[in-house]
């Protein structure tokens, strides 16, 4: 399972919606319920599932799913 597939599962879990299909260009405006509060839950879920940690700067910088995937891929490779 690649990062995007795994991420898709996390999005479905966090936002309780089995129809979500994320793309790199997906932003908070495309997912119902993705607000600044649920963003924290989403990041927690990603950190747990990928066993990584984001810095505060990274946390604040994510504007799209693509940003998240690129950051995760860098950390997973390292």
CA distances from 68 to 3, 47 (A): 10, 11
Alpha helices in the chain (DSSP H): 3-14, 36-50, 56-61, 65-77
Cα(22)–Cα(3) distance, rounded to whole angstroms? Answer: 11
Q: Give yes or no for residue 14 binding other proteins (CB under 8 A).
A: yes
Q: What track of x and - describes contact with other proteins for positions 20 through 39 (by CB under 8 A)?
A: -------xxx--xxxxxxx-
Q: Which of 3, 6, 45, 50 binds other proteins (CB under 8 A)?
A: 45
Cβ of residue 12: shortest distance to other proteins, in angstroms? 11
Binding site for other proteins (CB under 8 A): 13-17, 19, 27-29, 32-38, 40-41, 44-45, 47-48
């Amino acid at each position: 399972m690649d990062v995007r597939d795994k991420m898709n599962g996390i999005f479905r879990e966090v936002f309780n919606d089995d129809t979500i299909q994320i793309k790199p260009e997906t932003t908070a405006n495309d997912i119902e319920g993705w607000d600044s509060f649920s963003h924290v839950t989403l990041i927690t879920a990603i950190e747990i599932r990928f066993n990584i940690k984001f810095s505060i700067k990274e946390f604040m910088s994510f504007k799209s799913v693509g940003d998240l995937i690129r950051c995760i891929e860098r950390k997973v490779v390292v």
